[in-house]
Amino acid sequence: MDSNRFGITSRPVILLVQLFGVTACILLFYWVLHYRGGLAFHDVNKQRIFNLHPLFMFVGFIFVASQGILSYKIVPVKKDRQKLVHLTLLGLAIILGAIGIYAVFKFHNESHIKNLYSLHSWLGISAISLFGLQWVVGFIAFLYPGASKNRRERILPWHLFFGLFLYAMAIAAAETGILEKLTFEENSKMPLDQFSSEAILVNSTAIIILIFAMLVVLSTILPRG
């Protein structure tokens, strides 16, 4: 299908991407600082260690990866340099995501909680691991040493497909992570009125993240404007 049939270009949609993305980042910071007690890599309050996980996974991994996905639309330089920006941002996203994974393993180990017991954890580990593999394949095929032109043309459609598929997997991990956290809190002794206000904030953030991801995908299929 011709992307021009949508009747719009990617430019206004990318503006919405940034609006929803930044809003989600702000709400996540507000959540962990106002409701969860702050951030720390080392603390007797283990919740502060956990709080690094959602921030690094969304702000560091998903939000930065989104900018990498859209770099061909938003960075006004030659294609070779766009390619370098694309790989750099995705590489940075993987590194920041790995820090987020480290934080939750540290939290679990110091709190004597088992690791990798939930769908959320399986999705998250799979997404970042496959993102890393996708990055390596992209680097070898499109940057250094670089495949032949014919081979690159054959690889590109699969590279694009798996990139968006893994992005969707990362969003699924984020959404199931939010559900998992609220489910645990619902079974705690936290006062209901405090939980209710927190639930509204976190569920609203989850909806904003979903809209943000939808706009990212839409931007990739619209013509540049």
127-168 confidence digits (pLDDT tens): 999 999 999 999 999 988 888 989 999 999 999 999 999 999
Identify the pLDDT of residue 192.
46
Please state whether the predicted TM-score (pTM) of the whole model is above 0.85.
yes
149-186 and 192-221 helices, crossing angle to 10°: 170
Q: What structural domains does the chain harbor?
A: 8-221 (1.20.120.1770)
Please provide the average confidence, as pLDDT, over all residues in the chain: 92
7-39 confidence digits (pLDDT tens): 899 999 999 999 999 999 999 999 999 999 999
Q: What percent of the chain has pLDDT over 90?
A: 80
Identify the pLDDT of residue 187.
52
Minimal CA–CA distance to 134: which of 103, 108, 169, 173? 169
Q: Mean pLDDT, to the nearest integer, of 195-210?
A: 90
Minimal CA–CA distance to 212: which of 176, 181, 178, 168? 168
65-91 confidence digits (pLDDT tens): 999 999 999 999 998 899 999 999 999
Q: Mean pLDDT, to the nearest integer, of 106-132?
A: 95
CB-based burial label for 136 (10 Å; 0-12, 13-18, 19+)? exposed
79-111 and 46-55 helices, crossing angle to 10°: 160
The pLDDT-based confidence of 2 (bands split at 50, 70, 90) is low
